[in-house]
């Protein structure tokens, strides 16, 4: 088993339930290995509002703390490698959760202040750390209780303090069609702008 590694800390998540907390060694490169501590959360509040979705977890987020052993300061080459491996792992995670037609849409760099509480207005002196995250957006499709949904997913890779923080998640964007009653219930609870803002609050506030 990998040595103990502290889990990433996240801003408060109202209505979410932690469903996994695991430590593993996702990959090795000769004498260098990567140890990851990952926590996964699911949106329990919406499942309660739409009972038909109880057996189909779909809106989720995760955060991982990656430690390079032996200690290796982040570099452009290392960050690129970690990002490539993280992207492949994230796509596999999405597919394992029932998302299909996963495709990369865009990527950008985002200035963040990790560990600052998740407020985009955080300023210096709040205890956070200035960092730069590489953020990739994916589009996907997911079926839930006989209803087809378009979904968005994001993955952020942030080198900070000699480690890497990976943060990501997926959420439904719109109802495409399906069983009328469930589709109508889902339309009432799907708020893509709020879902995106909550996910980015976690990206900015993870530490």
Longest dimension (CA), the chain: 56
Q: What is the mean pLDDT of the chain?
A: 86
How many angstroms separate the CA atoms of 173 and 40, rounded?
20
Any residues with CB less than 8 A from the CB of 169 and at least 6 apart, and which?
Answer: 59, 60, 61, 62, 153, 154, 199, 202
Q: What is the pLDDT of residue 115?
A: 64
**Residue 153 in contact with residue 195, Cβ under 8 Å?**
no
* Residue-wise pLDDT tens digits, 74-85: 778 888 888 899
Q: Where are the domains of the chain?
A: 16-205
| Percent over 70 (pLDDT), the chain | 90
* Residue-wise pLDDT tens digits, 90-147: 999 999 999 999 999 999 998 887 765 544 444 444 557 788 899 999 999 999 888 9
Q: What is the pLDDT of residue 124?
A: 40
CA nearest 149: which of 179, 114, 132, 173? Answer: 173
Residue 178 has pLDDT above 60, yes or no: yes
Looking at per-residue confidence, does 53 or 8 come out higher? 8
**Residue 205 in contact with residue 11, Cβ under 8 Å?**
yes
| Percent over 90 (pLDDT), the chain | 53
Q: Phi first, then psi: what are they for 15, rounded to 5°?
A: 85, 5
Say how many residues make up the chain.
207
């Amino acid at each position: 088993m990998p040595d103990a590694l502290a889990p990433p800390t996240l801003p408060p998540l109202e209505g979410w339930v932690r469903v996994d907390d695991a430590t593993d060694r996702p990959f090795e490169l000769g004498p260098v290995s990567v140890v990851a501590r990952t926590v996964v959360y699911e949106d329990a509040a919406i499942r309660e509002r739409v009972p038909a979705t109880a057996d189909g977890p779909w809106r989720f987020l995760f955060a991982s703390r990656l430690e390079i052993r032996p200690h290796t300061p982040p570099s452009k080459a290392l960050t690129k490698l970690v990002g490539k491996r993280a992207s492949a792992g994230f796509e596999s995670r999405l597919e394992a959760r029932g998302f299909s037609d996963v495709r990369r849409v865009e990527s950008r760099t985002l200035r963040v202040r990790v560990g600052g509480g998740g407020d985009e207005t955080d300023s210096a002196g709040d205890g956070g750390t200035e960092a730069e995250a590489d953020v990739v957006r994916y589009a996907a499709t997911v079926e839930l209780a006989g209803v087809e949904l378009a979904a968005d997913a994001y993955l952020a890779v942030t080198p900070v303090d000699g480690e890497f923080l990976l943060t990501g998640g997926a959420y439904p964007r719109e109802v495409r069609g399906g069983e009328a009653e469930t589709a109508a219930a889902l339309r009432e609870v799907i708020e893509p702008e709020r879902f995106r803002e909550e996910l980015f609050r976690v990206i900015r506030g993870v530490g």
